[in-house]
Amino acid sequence: MQTITTVAELRRVLAEARKAEKRIGFVPTMGYLHDGHLALVEASRAKCDVTVVSIFVNPTQFGPNEDLSTYPRDLLRDEQLSRDAGVAVVFAPDADEIYPAQFESFIEPGELAKPLCGAFRPGHFRGVATVVCKLFNMVQPDVAYFGQKDFQQCAIVCRMAADLNLPIEIVTVPIVREPDGLAMSSRNRYLCADQRRRALSISRGLFDVADKFQSGERDVEKLTAIAKKHLTTLDRLQYLEIVDADTLKPAENPLRRTAALCTAAYVGSTRLIDNVILPLPTS
């Protein structure tokens, strides 16, 4: 496994792989890898010859009062985990390599970026779309892998790839959870024992909704209320919404198309997101 920090070196190494007709899989991350990231690597390794993992805490997707400076970082650990997982290349650039002086061109996502996290994190998806597009141009992968936990991010990246004719297959990999149900996230490390316990109401609420949906409940308000009942242990609920899985607009009531129940909430000062897909055959 090689760790590369410059775009020039990355291009040189990947040009060789491409010349040898290797299929390139790409897993963009902000590091502090966990089993959720490693599931993306595994999915890539199953279909691709060369897996590239980028590790870059992207400043443009953080708001002024968010956790950019404290976001967990441990490159040595990430390298070890990547090596053990069979990654071929770790791309770990500095901010200057991605955003040189004079940088001023951004990708502006449209309607998909407005609801849910977009309503509470202005500019977040502009930063995500911009860095993902730049990383795509640097790596030029055949396939890129994203985790379903960031449901809205997946929708925006798929839309961007289609809108900009990017010749990259986008694969969404299901959420990986801790044995007790908490969705894996690099931010889980911020939680103390009491917060970690209280955070479990999120997955409990989502699982309860998934069960009732499985049993035939299609009423959006009833399903939302079922989840809400669980969320009393959280410090602040930001949103809890059932949205159409394609448009991310509020789902039609009763549900007739595949939808997703998405939520974001604070436990202490840690913001957690999670979702569950409510699949229907018409979508």
**What type of residue is 255?**
L
Residue 153 vs 188, nearer CB to ligand PAF: 153
Cβ at position 224, least distance to ligand PAF in Å: 26
User: C-alpha angle with apex 200: 195 to 205, nearest 5 degrees?
Assistant: 140
- 213-242 residues in contact with ligand PAF (CB under 6 A) are none
Strand order in the sheet with 259-267: 236-244, 259-267, 270-278
Tokens of 236: 């602040």
Cβ at position 85, least distance to ligand PAF in Å: 16
Instruction: Confirm or reject binding of residue 61 to ligand PAF (CB under 6 A).
Output: yes
Which residue in 4, 29, 39, 166 binds ligand PAF (CB under 6 A)?
A: 29
Cβ at position 147, least distance to ligand PAF in Å: 7
Residue 51 vs 58, nearer CB to ligand PAF: 58
**What type of residue is 10?**
L
- Dist. CA 117–CA 115, nearest whole Å: 6
Instruction: Confirm or reject binding of residue 154 to ligand PAF (CB under 6 A).
Output: no
3-state secondary structure of 53: strand
- Dist. CA 146–CA 107, nearest whole Å: 18
Which residue in 44, 51, 58, 148 binds ligand PAF (CB under 6 A)?
A: 58
3-state secondary structure of 57: coil
- Burial of residue 54 (number of CB atoms within 10 Å: 0-12, 13-18, 19+): buried
- Given the residues 34, 37, 124, 230, the one annotated as active site: 37
Q: Which region among 80-88, 126-134, 215-223, 274-282 touches ligand PAF (by CB under 6 A)?
A: 126-134
37 assigned to active site = yes
Residues catalogued as catalytic? 37
Residues in touch with ligand PAF (CB under 6 A): 28-30, 58, 61, 128, 131-132, 150, 153
